[in-house]
Amino acid sequence: MRSPGADRQLGAGFMMTEGIIDGPDDIRAIAHCTDPNRMNRDNVLLIQLEPGYDRQRLDRARRTLYTSSSCGICGKTSLENVFLHCPPRTSLPHISMHVLHSLEDRVRMKQTGFGRTGGLHAAAQCAPDGQILSVYEDVGRHNAVDKLVGAALMSPTERRTDTWLWISGRASFEVVQKAHLGGFACVVAVGAPTSLAVDLSKAANLGLVGFCRDGRANIYSGIVAPEK
């Protein structure tokens, strides 16, 4: 289930955050289905991979997705699967409490869908100084993250390795995985993190902040920067 809009970004981001592709060079074309005989073709996205793409990798990704959705793998295996696609970062990010406390209000100003409905999650790309670079909304928080990652993937000028992912829900293992594979340095969640999300963030040298709302925040991974 998704909120319509930014479908191409959603598809590209999902391919990236699930470890199916390494970057935009793996995608040859991406577009909506145009077959007039296909039911709900507006909800079908066709992604053509480059001829040199390793098809066995796609098969492995399908098996991993099926297994993880069935809760059939342990925490250690989950971490190993992530690092097969993307190694840990070289260092932890520095996190300013002042910046953390400013993010919720800054993102909320750009949540136009939430303002109308009160029922959409948001994912935002934030600079370490608190500037909001991009915001995407969706009924599913994972979809919002994928749209954000896909947008950056399709626009090289938006791709940075020092930005933070702000998410308007809890920080699940899947959200932290998507953040790491999507190239973010830190995850900031309004809600709680799961224990496996904390394990992954520490193993990946990824910053992780939970309960970031109402003027407070818990830092589970990262270096607290001294305030100026």
Nearest-CA neighbor of 163 among 103, 114, 215, 210?
103
* Cα distances (Å, whole numbers) of residue 170 to 29, 166, 175: 33, 10, 9
The string over 40-50, giving b where at least 16 C-beta atoms fall within 10 Å of a residue's C-beta and e elsewhere, is eeeeebebebe
* pLDDT confidence of residue 62: 64
* Tokens at 67, concatenated: 């297994």
In the chain, what are the domain boundaries? 1-228
Calpha distance 124→99 (Å, rounded): 14
CATH, domain 1-228, list 3.40.50.720, 3.40.140.10, 3.40.640.10, 2.60.40.10:
3.40.140.10
Strand partners, 124: 135, 166
pLDDT by residue for the chain (228 residues), tens only, comes to 788 889 999 999 999 998 888 888 899 999 988 888 888 888 888 999 888 888 777 776 665 554 444 444 455 567 777 887 889 999 999 999 999 999 999 999 998 888 788 889 999 999 999 999 999 999 999 999 999 999 999 886 666 789 999 999 999 999 999 999 999 999 999 999 999 999 999 999 999 999 999 999 999 999 988 776
Phi then psi dihedrals of residue 163, to 5 deg: -85, 165
Calpha distance 81→141 (Å, rounded): 22
pTM for the model: 0.87
* pLDDT confidence of residue 222: 94
For strands 164-167 and 132-138, give the pairing.
unpaired
Calpha distance 206→164 (Å, rounded): 10
Q: Which residues contact residue 190 at a Cβ distance below 8 angstroms, ignoring those fewer than 6 apart?
A: 104, 167, 168, 169, 170, 211, 212, 213
Annotated catalytic residues are: 71
Number of Cβ within 10 Å of residue 109's Cβ equals 11
Q: For the purposes of burial, counting CB atoms within 10 Å of the CB of 179, is it exposed (0-12), middle (13-18) or buried (19 or more)? A: buried
* pLDDT confidence of residue 75: 57
